[in-house]
Structure 1
């Protein structure tokens, strides 16, 4: 393709003598020179060879001429400009070959960046000088086209360098190292965190130079767009590796809970990573790449991270308005803690105007999550009260509702008590509105409780009420007491095993519950064993100083029959807590054995030895002790063995 020729800057004709880059006249036609520059000998005249410029001396010639052109637009432009443009175009074209489609390494000596700077300067100067001179339109257009070509190469290289960062995935759940193996791993984790986003110093320096050149060359929009898009894609790729993917609010609303809850842990990891590592790393990166203009660095950082931050908050927002249910509470609290614990980082990361907007959005989202958590916790009390089933638990064992409730509350207190206290405190006005009708009857102890503890007491009161109603389903009053003892003991053991829940419930409540348990114990003994002791009553046995044998025989018969029935029945009853089981057996033995042994020792001699004795005295004190040890095992094979 024939190379464009620069038109003359003078109004003269085509026969004007051109100038070389050194400003001297070319050799006269009648004095031909040979290739080494000496005059030719003999023969006819030879054609003058075209001077071959290098890029460096061509630019020197152009730069010298630009100084002259600034003072006189009619000054002649050097011929070297077309040679220079040819060389630049050739150099830029190499960057556009198919194998360079992802950008090309800039020259190690920085010559391409130097050329880009020269082209920007050339285009800027000539466009300004000849902006009113249409005669130079062809030249200006060519310079502009080649300048754009050079800038496209820089943009490609800029993207490539940004895409080739050493992507790292920091451990956002890393805890401070203790001793041993964990301590050995700590430096490595800290190094990973400090290295994000993984660019070498050399790459950062090159990115900075390219950004400076593109901005000074008028291609700031392309530079900014390439930076934002590349870094946004990089962060989204990292978040995907953490398991988090963009999910719209509509999609969240349509998801079943089993699927949705699997998305929450990756979201938490992503949110923590962004707040503590990725966003701070992005700010440092922007400040390094665009170090010459802090306002640009700040603006790009805001544009990049604001969208991602709001995208993360949108997920939490969508979860907050999903259908409430008891099993969702702990996932909601996990989200709340992530939002709460990383709130302060917004102040440090974003400038005030942006931070205020994001903090307001984060506060709103956190508040909604907290309100939902409180509603779920309140619904839990209603869930307990709604359990009106009339199915008896076999043997008076611990009711499934008691197990579920206490395990639920214990986990809530052990893992989330501070968070729940914080949420209830933040929503104290709502809590007070719920308890206005009870405010006049509250004791000083109630007033001193935190809002969370007060609600915890309400849940426990609801459980007690429901259990009391279920205990009345048992026709046997003694079994009803065993049922309440089993459930009460289970509740106390769970509270005893958890300092957090015990502290929340308070010592007064614990002592009151223990007192109730002792009352049920006494009720059980009264309904069972005190009635049995009635068979050993001395009243009516002596008439006029003599033992009435028929009455004595009847007493032994009644005792035997009643004890056999108790053993047969209560061997099927269940006391799962081994300590309480032992306490009950010891208590029963302490009541029955001394009384029976005394009665037997006093009256067995009034029965005729032999068959009559065997008929009415079926149990020795040791036998009764053995049978008592078989109570409350829930064992159908354990039945009274009659003496024959």
Structure 2
């Protein structure tokens, strides 16, 4: 071609002057502008004829067309030819418009394009509707997200390739991925993308988007309906009893996870892929499908947060807060478009309202504790209902310590009274934002209430037993839950030391007279008959009185119960056994003097702290039978 177009300077005679040489840019008659137009026109006309042959074969209005036939089935060779012919038709139309905008060829090409687009609309609808099972959001998000990087890279490569290559690659069902054939969902998605690209290039993007949004919106609606997500007004939620709201919260927590992890993320992946050729279209499409549904979904926590407050509702409210907090990064990514900013705004609004509600419920909880007045002593010095309620409440709260740290980080603890140095040794201010200090403060408030409850007992010994039971319950709950981390080992050790002190005080107040009625060292001491008689009588009196009072007492914790029984046994039984064995034979009227054998004392001590003893009843046996029992040891 260069030989025809240019005259080489080397080919000219050396005797020729420059003026006689033909110019280097002289165009041969074969390539004159008129010939170039004629050549291009002939190529475009051939493309038009080729496109007409392919498109007419799939004309929906043709009497020879079978309604059951579809392009995008089987090996898809016909589909590739069809898309290629549409691309050729589009190029031809651009050429004819530049030549003569009112030519008959333009009119003919436009009619062919309408036939082609009608065909592609039907194919697009068929693929979307017939492949719901492989295009459901879960399948798309699970099976395709792991390969999305490869797919996006492939799309980028296709954009740089020719239209023919684009068609071939997009619709290939033999593309190998990770050592095997691509999944069905990927193949279907590639078909949808190929059609969408073709229709958008041809100026029929609006028709394509309409089909897509109608069908995908119905799938989103159906999925949320199956997840039992309903739209509520504030009045509806506010009038509901908690027994009705709580199951709805459980339903929402499950549905929200599915919606974020699968439904909305899957729709975003599908939309981004199918309409990757147009950022504006994929944004408007995704927004149209998911925006209103997502706003309605994330409005529910706000309605719950604004409804009636109750301290018992805090745990489900914390569940809602945790769910939004955990999924916020994904929500922000999925709804990153400017047109879906309202979704992000609704999520943030619900998040803030839930935090406000939780702080309000914590305030109410503390206030109710402060106002609580213990008016009636618990029978047997047992665990007060307030102690059980508060500690179980705090144990459940401690499971949300990370969430509460976030909620309370900018909400300092305001304390009106001075704090015990042993409880807050490092604090010099009356404000603290530490979640640990807040829990410690709530425990301290409870302990103050327990102390006031001990004052209700007329029997000092029972008041100490009440403190033992309730403080031990606190210590046990702290030791066996996340409260241990929040309260800290130092504070827990302080509680344990206080518990031992209360137990010692109980033994001294309840059984001190019994212990003091016995000789300090009965083995070494030599008592007269009268002194021994008085010692037995005093022991009988004090033991009977102590047992009568303490037989109705309760120690709920078996470990503490055994510790106190063992301690009392060590302080009473050895001394009494020595007294019994050494002086019992001195008395003629032994039955009137010695009322308890050592085994009687041991058995009565073993029966204590179950709350089953009757006042005044003491288990006794004859001294003779007890002595034989003792001798058999």
TM-score normalised by the chain length of structure 2: 0.70
Report how far residue 519 of structure 1 moved: 2.7
- 3-state SS, counterpart of residue 445 of structure 1: coil
1:593-604 → structure 2 map (5 Å cutoff) = 593-596=573-576
Q: What does residue 529 of structure 1 align with?
A: 511
Q: What does residue 487 of structure 1 align with?
A: 470
Q: What does residue 615 of structure 1 align with?
A: 592
Q: What does residue 240 of structure 2 align with?
A: 255
Moved more, 504-513 or 108-117: 108-117
Q: What does residue 366 of structure 1 align with?
A: 351
Distance 1:144 1:572, change over 3 A: same
Distance 1:632 1:142 in 2: 99
Distance 1:192 1:588, change over 3 A: farther
Report how far residue 632 of structure 1 moved: 1.0
Residue 561 of structure 1, aligned match among 541, 550, 555: 541
Report how far residue 615 of structure 1 moved: 0.7
Report how far residue 229 of structure 1 moved: 2.9
Whether the aligned pair in 1 keeps the contact of 2:318 and 2:358 (CA below 8 Å) is: yes
Q: What does residue 309 of structure 1 align with?
A: 294
Q: Deviation per CA, 1:432-482: give whole Å up to 9, x if none.
A: 4x3477699995424697522222122212222222333333332212211
Q: What does residue 585 of structure 1 align with?
A: 565
Distance 1:421 1:630, change over 3 A: same
Q: What does residue 575 of structure 1 align with?
A: 555
TM-score normalised by the chain length of structure 1: 0.69
Distance 1:523 1:159, change over 3 A: same
Equivalences, count: 535
Q: What does residue 460 of structure 2 align with?
A: 477
Q: Deviation per CA, 1:414-446: give whole Å up to 9, x if none.
A: x32222222221xx2x324x3477699995424
Report how far residue 504 of structure 1 moved: 0.9
Whether the aligned pair in 2 keeps the contact of 1:529 and 1:592 (CA below 8 Å) is: no
Distance 1:354 1:446, change over 3 A: farther
Moved more, 477-486 or 267-276: 267-276
Residue 306 of structure 2, aligned match among 321, 344, 359: 321
Residue 157 of structure 1, aligned match among 126, 133, 158: 126
Q: What does residue 403 of structure 2 align with?
A: 419
Q: Deviation per CA, 1:562-583: give whole Å up to 9, x if none.
A: 3123223423321121221121
Report how far residue 369 of structure 1 moved: 1.4
Whether the aligned pair in 1 keeps the contact of 2:374 and 2:449 (CA below 8 Å) is: no
Whether the aligned pair in 1 keeps the contact of 2:314 and 2:358 (CA below 8 Å) is: yes
1:4-83 → structure 2 map (5 Å cutoff) = none
Distance 1:225 1:204 in 2: 17
Distance 1:288 1:161, change over 3 A: farther
Whether the aligned pair in 1 keeps the contact of 2:565 and 2:605 (CA below 8 Å) is: yes
Q: Deviation per CA, 1:358-410: give whole Å up to 9, x if none.
A: 54543332222122222223322234345446444332222233223222322
Whether the aligned pair in 1 keeps the contact of 2:229 and 2:297 (CA below 8 Å) is: no
Report how far residue 346 of structure 1 moved: 4.2
Distance 2:458 2:471 in 1: 20
Q: What does residue 606 of structure 2 align with?
A: 629
Distance 1:213 1:401 in 2: 72
Distance 1:317 1:88 in 2: 53
Distance 1:255 1:92 in 2: 62
Distance 2:63 2:427 in 1: 81
1:281-292 → structure 2 map (5 Å cutoff) = 281-292=266-277
The answer on 1:506 being equivalent to 2:492 is: no
The answer on 1:457 being equivalent to 2:440 is: yes
Distance 1:362 1:437, change over 3 A: farther
1:327-366 → structure 2 map (5 Å cutoff) = 327-351=312-336, 353=338, 358-366=343-351
Distance 2:138 2:446 in 1: 47
- 3-state SS, counterpart of residue 515 of structure 1: helix
Distance 1:437 1:588 in 2: 39
Q: What does residue 41 of structure 1 align with?
A: none
Q: Deviation per CA, 1:189-234: give whole Å up to 9, x if none.
A: x7587489x8533322321232234334443223213222322332
Q: Deviation per CA, 1:155-207: give whole Å up to 9, x if none.
A: 533542563535374899xxxxxxxxxxxxxxxxx7587489x8533322321
Distance 1:560 1:258, change over 3 A: same
Whether the aligned pair in 1 keeps the contact of 2:209 and 2:285 (CA below 8 Å) is: yes
Whether the aligned pair in 1 keeps the contact of 2:275 and 2:282 (CA below 8 Å) is: yes
Whether the aligned pair in 2 keeps the contact of 1:151 and 1:219 (CA below 8 Å) is: no
Whether the aligned pair in 2 keeps the contact of 1:446 and 1:454 (CA below 8 Å) is: no
Whether the aligned pair in 2 keeps the contact of 1:399 and 1:487 (CA below 8 Å) is: yes
- 3-state SS, counterpart of residue 165 of structure 1: helix
Q: What does residue 517 of structure 1 align with?
A: 499
Distance 1:191 1:64, change over 3 A: closer
Distance 1:118 1:365 in 2: 53
Whether the aligned pair in 2 keeps the contact of 1:457 and 1:505 (CA below 8 Å) is: yes
Distance 1:240 1:195 in 2: 30
Distance 1:642 1:625, change over 3 A: closer
Distance 1:320 1:411 in 2: 19
Distance 1:292 1:396 in 2: 77
Moved more, 205-214 or 246-255: 246-255
Report how far residue 636 of structure 1 moved: 3.6
- 3-state SS, counterpart of residue 200 of structure 1: helix
Distance 1:120 1:628, change over 3 A: same
Distance 1:510 1:152, change over 3 A: closer
Distance 1:92 1:315 in 2: 55
Q: Deviation per CA, 1:264-285: give whole Å up to 9, x if none.
A: 3343333333434444433332
Distance 2:258 2:451 in 1: 50
